């Protein structure tokens, strides 16, 4: 048997993305999703999903929308309007010295540890307040630096939550996971064929008695999405793949078990 953890990030970033992910859960192969708990639609998105049969985690978000914490307590994370700095702004303003094991190291970490720890914990507390239980896992969004990694690891240990990085550093991913998620322009996102890559390049090379993961960014596209992120059109391609009948049949016919973080604990 092959085990495959299929995850779709950014639930709650916009109503359209949230609706698309729910579609992928109900009629496709999505078994894990993490919620942005700090967005205008987060509360409604949480109500719409909290009783669904899915492993619901939290995507810790420092680059989109407003923080859960008092902006005065995290001055290095927000602009003059109290909004998080975008990841593109961070990358342009701070010199990157290395990228290893999914962690981006800057000459000076743009996220002071005490500020990032406070916001990480407050997002987890907000999740508990809205959902009524702990997240099934904690997952980094966008820029992962030594300080953001350390903060998430400490909070995960404090609350007894599975840290997705433990999986990502231990198990192999399907290569399509990271195809075009960073720096891709709109034409690249239009041209990419996620379904074809999964069927022809990824799924056929999976080995028996192994565990793999695939992380997508599914969703329907709405106007708000273009205000929040550059990862836009690819989301409908991800969702198309998660709903694809040939992919669903391949998984069923090749003894591939779709798992959640609960299976890894």
Q: What is the pLDDT of residues 103-119, one digit of tens each?
A: 889 999 999 999 999 99
Which residue ranges make up each domain of the chain? 2-62+113-264
Is the per-residue pLDDT at 252 higher than 70? yes
- Residues of the chain with pLDDT > 70, as a percent, come to 97
What is the per-residue pLDDT for 261? 97
Per-residue pLDDT tens digits for 50-74: 999 999 999 999 999 999 999 999 9
Q: Which residue has the tokens 């700090």?
A: 38
Q: What is the pLDDT of residue 87?
A: 84
Is the pLDDT assigned to residue 19 strictly greater than 70? Answer: yes
If you classify domain 2-62+113-264 with CATH, what class do you get?
alpha beta
pLDDT tens track for 164-195:
999 999 999 997 776 655 546 888 888 889 99
Q: How many helices (H) does the chain have, and how many strands (E)?
A: 11, 9
Q: 10-24 as b/e, with b when 16 or more CB fall inside 10 Å?
A: bbbbbbbbbbbbbbb
Question: What are the φ/ψ torsions at residue 104 (nearest 5 degrees)?
Answer: -95, 120
Q: What predicted TM-score, i.e. pTM, was given to this entire model?
A: 0.94
Give the separation between CA 235 and CA 19, rounded to whole angstroms. Answer: 12
pLDDT at position 235 over 70: yes
pLDDT surpassing 60 at residue 80 = yes
Q: What's the CA gap between 12 and 261, in Å, rounded?
A: 20
Q: Residue 6: what pLDDT?
A: 98
Token pair for 142: 């966008």
Q: In the prediction, which pLDDT does 179 show?
A: 60
Q: Across the chain, what does the average pLDDT equal?
A: 94
3-state secondary structure of 194: helix
């Amino acid at each position: 048997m092959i085990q495959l953890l299929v995850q779709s990030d950014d639930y709650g970033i916009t109503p359209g993305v949230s609706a698309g992910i729910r579609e992928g859960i109900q009629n496709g192969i999505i078994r894990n999703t993490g919620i942005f708990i700090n967005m205008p639609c987060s509360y409604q998105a949480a109500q719409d999903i909290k009783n669904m049969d899915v492993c619901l985690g939290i995507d810790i978000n420092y680059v989109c929308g407003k923080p859960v914490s008092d902006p005065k307590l995290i001055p290095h994370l927000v602009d003059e309007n109290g909004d998080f700095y975008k990841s593109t702004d961070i990358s342009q303003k701070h010199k990157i010295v290395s990228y290893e094991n999914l962690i981006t190291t800057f000459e000076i970490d743009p996220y002071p540890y005490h500020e990032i720890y406070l916001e990480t914990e407050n997002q987890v507390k907000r999740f508990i307040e809205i959902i009524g239980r702990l997240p099934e896992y904690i997952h980094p969004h966008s820029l992962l630096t030594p300080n953001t990694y350390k903060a998430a690891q400490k909070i995960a240990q404090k609350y007894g939550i599975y840290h997705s990085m433990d999986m990502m550093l231990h198990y192999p991913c399907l290569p399509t996971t990271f195809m075009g998620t960073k720096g891709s322009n709109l034409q690249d996102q239009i041209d990419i064929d996620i379904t074809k890559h999964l069927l022809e390049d990824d799924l056929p090379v999976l080995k028996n008695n192994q565990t793999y993961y695939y992380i997508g960014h599914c969703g329907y596209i709405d106007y708000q999405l273009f205000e929040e992120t550059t990862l836009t059109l690819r989301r409908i391609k991800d969702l198309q793949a998660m709903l694809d009948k040939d992919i669903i049949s391949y998984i069923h016919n090749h003894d591939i078990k779709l798992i959640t973080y609960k299976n890894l604990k």
